């Protein structure tokens, strides 16, 4: 039986796509990378990922818009995938914008391998303690 997708990455920047590929490639998790929010929305419906790393600023459909669309679909399905917003904007309140859009967490750029691995453990790990401390 084919294994399901662990991590969907939505990121339009090629350098950051490479960074994600290098870090995630060493984890053993099954991941896919798409280049805009529209494709992320499509991939969410087709691949049913266990978590999503969502760049905020992308062409065609931003990460915030894609997250809102995913949350609408989920409201009908009664499911909720963890979405971690990824953004280079060091603006104060950026994390709040991600959370307001329906994201669960936030990962700042430049992407640090340690910080990314911590997010994977937090949202893919089955440890209830990790989830209880979320937020
Ligand atoms: Mn971007």
In a domain, 131, yes or no: no
Q: Which CATH number belongs to the domain containing residue 22 in this structure? A: 3.40.50.2300
Residue 1 lies in a domain: no
CA of 57 from ligand 1 middle (Å) equals 4
Whether 40 is in a domain gets the answer yes
Q: What is the pLDDT of residue 45?
A: 95
pTM: 0.89
* Backbone CA torsion sign across 78, 61, 121, 87: negative
DSSP 102: T
Number of separate domains in the chain: 1
**Containing domain of residue 65, as a range?**
7-126
The answer to whether residue 77 sits within a structural domain is yes
Compute, in angstroms, the gap from residue 126 CA to the centroid of ligand 1. Answer: 30
- Whether residue 29 is contained in a domain is answered as yes
- What are the average pLDDT values for consecutive 10-residue runs of the chain, which has 135 residues? 84 97 96 98 97 96 97 94 88 82 94 96 71 47
Q: Would 133 be classed as within a structural domain?
A: no
pLDDT of 89: 67
The answer to whether position 67 is within a domain reads yes
* Rounded distance from Cα 111 to ligand 1 centre (Å): 13
The reported pLDDT for the residue numbered 131 is: 43
Does residue 2 form part of some domain?
no
Instruction: Please tell me the predicted confidence (pLDDT) of residue 118.
Output: 96
């Amino acid at each position: 039986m084919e294994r399901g997708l662990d991590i969907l990455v939505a990121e339009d920047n090629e350098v950051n796509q490479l960074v994600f590929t290098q870090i995630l490639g060493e984890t053993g998790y099954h991941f896919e990378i798409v280049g805009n929010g529209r494709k992320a929305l499509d991939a969410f419906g087709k691949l049913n990922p266990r978590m999503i790393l969502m760049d905020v600023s992308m062409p065609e459909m931003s990460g915030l818009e894609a997250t809102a669309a995913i949350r609408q679909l989920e409201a009908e399905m009664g499911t909720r995938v963890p979405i971690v917003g990824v953004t280079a904007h060091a603006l104060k309140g950026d994390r709040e914008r991600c959370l307001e859009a329906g994201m669960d967490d936030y990962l700042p750029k430049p992407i640090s391998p340690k910080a990314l691995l911590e997010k994977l453990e937090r949202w893919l790990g089955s440890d209830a303690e990790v989830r209880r401390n979320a937020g």
